[in-house]
């Protein structure tokens, strides 16, 4: 069953159609990568799922329910979110950051949930719990951001260029440990990236976007074989195919 | 949280106190103290003090408000009834207030101003005191002799070689420099605006060659000056007289009569002697006024109060200011304490009110960024208005005293607090804010848990800037009768008394430095952990 269903989504910014009749579904347990160049509409599509962006046409359903009918704050607390710069709250410790969503949801012990999440993201709570974000490396910060997104145990995770700001070696490590974590947690994820190689490394399905439309969608393992036209061009550009 | 609540309580209490002060100022017309004001020069202080002593000898309570910045300010306050009486000169009334040119003798001018003031503003001229104090254009005797100058016509020829220094009041008036220059076709090489306090000094030291003086100035003999004759009769007659408000005239006939009894009793010799005692000998204004009244047979009875703002510094020859200042401050400690308390009240009430307005406004602007720039610019515009001008604008609306001063200081404080609040909120970790929103924090949670804590040091920096500006600007409030540490500064400027000026300026500077230091500490204390540098 599709956990996330996007139907005929349209979003306009003035004369520009950021989303031009996009239809897409994300199966439970899968990881869909939205790939494309800047301005292709991939982030707009991602943000429509937890109502950070309101659509001008079409609709999104999550867990079989139209998101337009769900209170946005409640909706967002039920969905994990990771952004490129991490967006950690600078004057909160790692543990406070990691325990944010459980605390918002009124969990009995947000600190315990935060500790578990840090551990799952590969950070020893004994070492990192009381540190502030500025005392961490970029890779460690991104792990805290992932721990924060997963701490309340959501079934859906949205990620916007989560590894974009990391150096090449750190990025490889982060991608691998994220893929393992996602699989073991059984979380359904939507990942926005401009990097096809990253998409192939982390995702189970890939949707290629251009000018507000999905031009191609296939399983990650089959994209090299199936790609034609713009998608093939993009593959070549990102060095996946030589 | 309790600390913050306590602070709010204090601010509210101060506001209430301020309101009470303003309210008691308008007590019953029959028993309220009579408000006697003056302009910022020695003779005006002297005459106002003489009025005050005469009234007190008749058993009236007097509220002394000397040292208003200019004719316009004190006259506006009189029209509003905030001031009951102040000494004015008929020529000033004719030229500066009515904007008419000189014509006719003393009696004719007195008749014209009496009729016009009564008709236009219900303001009454009491009979003239008996002496004239006209503007005089003065030079160093040696310089005048070497150029062989005796008249203003002669000055016109020599003027292109000469530097002039005039008081701001004189430069701005139709019967001052503007009219004079037109009448005699005088054009100086350069013209400076000089306060009373430094004008004679500047002339004596040769920094300027020509100044405006008053014909009764004690300083004319002290500095050995020549007064050039007004050979074309430009300056109108300047007969000194009490100018009283319509309400005072109508409601307090006995008090008016007491002042009217001074008519014709003060001759030019007596007033020049009294001026000399103040300007040359450094006598207290109260003392000089008493001996003037003794001279003319109007000696008051025992006075309880030796003149609030007229205590003079000991001006012993050869004593350095550094030695004289602490002694003077010690002698005047009771007044000084009151002035500091008053100063703090002005600053704290205005600052508190500005925080209450600018802080929520700055937060609200974050959600209306399209108009934020325009609003902040408007607040910035307020700050470009010179302090004394802003205070003057307040008088028609709020009268004189603490209220207009607090409003003016409030307006000055808005910009730094508003701008810093807005900037602090907008620039508070925007990526953390967007991530927090994406994870389900409400707008209120984003504001109270991310933005405000991160913006706190920036907002405190704005409060600090406003506080320091306010402590300085509040000294100008003395020009509109609001009291505070400006009182000794204004009086010292009027009476050319540097020790008196410093007795206000030094505590004001200390207040500013302490405030700045304290708020800098507060700034680093409110910075949340994790982002402290």
Name the residue ranges covered by the structural domains of chain B. 1-25, 32-132+238-312, 135-228, 333-532
Provide, as residue numbers in chain B, all residues whose Cβ is less than 8 Å from the Cβ of A101: 439-440
Asked if the domains at B32-132+238-312 and B135-228 fall in one CATH topology, the answer is yes
pLDDT grade for B16, boundaries at 50, 70 and 90? very low
3-class DSSP state of B516: helix
Architecture of domain B32-132+238-312: 3-Layer(aba) Sandwich (3.40)
pLDDT of residue B487: 87
ipTM over 0.95: no
Across the range B43-57, mean pLDDT stands at 93
pLDDT of residue B235: 84
pLDDT of residue B22: 43
- Tens-digit pLDDT profile for residues B111-153: 999 999 999 999 999 999 999 888 889 999 999 999 999 999 9
Tokens of B76: 């506006």
Out of A81, A85, A134, name the one closest to residue B439 (CB): A81
The more confidently predicted of residues B481 and A158 is A158
pLDDT grade for B354, boundaries at 50, 70 and 90? very high
Structural fold of domain B333-532: MetI-like fold (1.10.3720)
Q: Do A90 and B531 touch (CB under 8 A)?
A: yes
Architecture of domain B135-228: 3-Layer(aba) Sandwich (3.40)
Residue B27 has pLDDT above 60, yes or no: no
Answer for the pair B464, B450: CB distance below 8 angstroms, yes or no.
no
pLDDT grade for B25, boundaries at 50, 70 and 90? very low
Provide, as residue numbers in chain A, all residues whose Cβ is less than 8 Å from the Cβ of B531: 90-91, 132, 134
Cα separation, B423 vs B366, in Å, equals 9
pLDDT grade for B18, boundaries at 50, 70 and 90? very low
pLDDT of residue B533: 56
3-state secondary structure A133-177: HHHCCHHHHHHHHHHHHHCCCCCEEEEECCCCCCCHHHHHHHHHH
Out of A76, A77, A90, name the one closest to residue B432 (CB): A90
Q: Do B431 and A77 touch (CB under 8 A)?
A: no
Answer for the pair B268, B191: CB distance below 8 angstroms, yes or no.
no
Show which of residues 415-434 on chain B sit within 8 Å of chain A, judged by CB atoms: 429, 431-434
Answer for the pair A9, A57: CB distance below 8 angstroms, yes or no.
yes
Tokens of A223: 């994209």
**Is the backbone of residue B485 left (phi > 0), alpha (psi -120 to 50) or beta?**
alpha
Cα separation, B347 vs B484, in Å, equals 10
pLDDT of residue A7: 94
With pLDDT > 90 as the criterion, what percentage of chain B qualifies?
46
pLDDT of residue B28: 54
Report the candidate in A184, A180, A139, A185 with the shortest Cα–Cα distance to residue A162.
A139
For testing contact with chain B, the best of A71, A76, A90 (most B CBs within 10 A)? A90
Residue B440 has pLDDT above 50, yes or no: yes
Residue B23 has pLDDT above 50, yes or no: no
3-class DSSP state of B414: helix
Cβ of residue B525 closer than 8 Å to a chain A Cβ: no
Show which of residues 63-122 on chain B sit within 8 Å of chain A, judged by CB atoms: none
pLDDT of residue B318: 45
Across the range B296-316, mean pLDDT stands at 53
Q: Which regions in chain A score pLDDT beneath 70?
A: 1, 240-242
Residue B308 has pLDDT above 90, yes or no: no
Across the range B155-178, mean pLDDT stands at 86
Tokens of B151: 């008249």
3-class DSSP state of B228: strand
- Tens-digit pLDDT profile for residues B199-240: 888 898 888 999 998 888 877 877 888 889 888 888 888 899
Average pLDDT, chain B: 85
For testing contact with chain A, the best of B440, B443, B528 (most A CBs within 10 A)? B440
Cα separation, A145 vs A143, in Å, equals 5
């Amino acid at each position: 069953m599709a956990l996330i269903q996007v139907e005929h989504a349209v979003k306009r910014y003035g004369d520009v159609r950021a989303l031009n009749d996009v239809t897409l579904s994300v199966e439970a347990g899968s990881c869909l990568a939205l790939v494309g160049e800047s301005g292709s509409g991939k982030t707009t599509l991602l943000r429509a799922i937890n109502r950070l962006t309101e659509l001008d046409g079409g609709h999104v359903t999550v867990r079989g329910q139209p998101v337009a009918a769900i209170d946005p704050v409640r909706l967002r607390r039920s969905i994990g979110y990771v952004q490129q710069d991490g967006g950690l709250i600078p004057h909160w410790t790692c543990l406070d950051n990691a325990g944010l969503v459980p605390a918002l949801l009124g969990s009995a012990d947000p600190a315990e949930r935060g500790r578990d999440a840090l551990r799952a993201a590969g950070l020893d709570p004994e070492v990192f719990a009381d540190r502030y974000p500025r005392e961490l490396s970029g890779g460690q910060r991104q792990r805290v951001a992932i721990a924060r997104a997963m701490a309340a145990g959501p079934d859906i995770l949205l990620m916007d260029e989560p590894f974009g700001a990391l150096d090449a070696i750190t990025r490889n490590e982060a991608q691998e440990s994220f893929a393992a974590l996602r699989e073991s947690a059984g979380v359904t994820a939507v990942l926005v990236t401009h990097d096809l190689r990253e998409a192939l490394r982390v995702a189970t399905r890939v949707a290629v976007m251009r000018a507000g439309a999905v031009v191609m969608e296939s399983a990650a393992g089959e994209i090299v074989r199936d790609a034609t036209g713009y998608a093939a061009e993009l593959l070549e550009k990102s060095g996946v195919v030589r | 949280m309790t600390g913050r609540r306590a602070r709010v309580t204090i601010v509210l209490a101060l506001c209430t106190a301020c309101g009470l002060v303003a309210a008691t100022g308008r007590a019953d017309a029959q028993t309220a103290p009579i408000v006697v004001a003056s302009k910022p020069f020695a003779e005006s202080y002297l005459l106002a003090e003489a009025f005050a002593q005469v009234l007190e000898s008749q058993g009236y309570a007097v509220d002394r408000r000397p040292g208003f910045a200019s004719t316009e300010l004190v006259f506006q306050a009189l029209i509003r009834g905030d001031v009951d009486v102040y000494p004015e000169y008929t020529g000033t009334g004719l030229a500066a207030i009515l904007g008419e040119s000189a014509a006719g003798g003393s009696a004719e001018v007195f008749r014209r101003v009496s009729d016009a003031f009564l008709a236009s503003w219900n303001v009454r001229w009491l009979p003239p005191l008996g002496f004239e104090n006209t503007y005089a254009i003065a030079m160093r005797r040696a310089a005048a002799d070497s150029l062989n100058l005796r008249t203003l016509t002669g000055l016109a020829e020599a003027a292109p070689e000469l530097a002039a220094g005039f008081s701001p009041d004189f430069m701005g008036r139709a019967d001052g420099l503007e009219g004079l220059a037109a009448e005699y076709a005088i054009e100086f090489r350069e013209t400076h605006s000089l306060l009373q306090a430094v004008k004679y000094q500047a002339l004596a030291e040769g920094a300027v060659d020509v100044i405006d003086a008053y014909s009764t100035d004690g300083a004319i003999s002290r500095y050995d000056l020549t007064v050039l004759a007004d050979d074309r009769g430009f300056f109108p007659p300047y007969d000194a007289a009490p100018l009283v408000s319509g309400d005072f005239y109508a409601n307090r006939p006995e008090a008016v009569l007491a002042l009217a009894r001074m008519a014709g009793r003060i001759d030019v010799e007596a007033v020049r002697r009294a001026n000399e005692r103040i300007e040359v000998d450094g006598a207290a204004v109260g003392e000089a006024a008493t001996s003037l009244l003794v001279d003319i047979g109007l000696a008051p009875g025992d006075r309880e109060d030796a003149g609030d703002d007229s205590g003079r510094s000991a001006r012993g020859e050869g004593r350095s200011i550094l030695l004289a200042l602490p002694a003077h401050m010690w002698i005047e400690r009771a007044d000084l304490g009151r002035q500091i308390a008053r100063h703090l009240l002005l600053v704290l009430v205005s600052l508190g009110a500005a925080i209450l307005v600018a802080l929520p406004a700055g937060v609200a602007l974050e959600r209306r960024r399209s108009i934020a720039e325009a609003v902040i610019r408007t607040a910035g515009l307020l700050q470009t208005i010179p302090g004394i001008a802003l205070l003057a604008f307040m008088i028609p609306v709020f009268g004189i005293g603490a209220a207009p001063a607090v409003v003016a200081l409030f307006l000055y404080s808005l910009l730094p607090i508003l701008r810093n609040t807005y900037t602090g909120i907008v620039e508070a970790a925007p990526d953390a804010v967007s991530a927090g929103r994406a994870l389900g924090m409400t707008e209120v949670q984003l504001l109270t848990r991310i933005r405000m804590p991160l913006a706190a040091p920036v907002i405190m920096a704005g409060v600090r800037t406003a506080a320091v500006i306010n402590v300085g600007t509040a000294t100008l409030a003395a020009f509109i009768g609001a009291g505070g540490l400006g009182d000794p500064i204004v009086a010292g400027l009027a009476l050319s008394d540097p020790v008196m000026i410093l007795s206000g300026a030094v505590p004001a500077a200390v207040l500013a430095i302490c405030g700045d230091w304290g708020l800098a500490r507060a700034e680093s204390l409110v910075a949340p952990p994790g982002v402290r540098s």
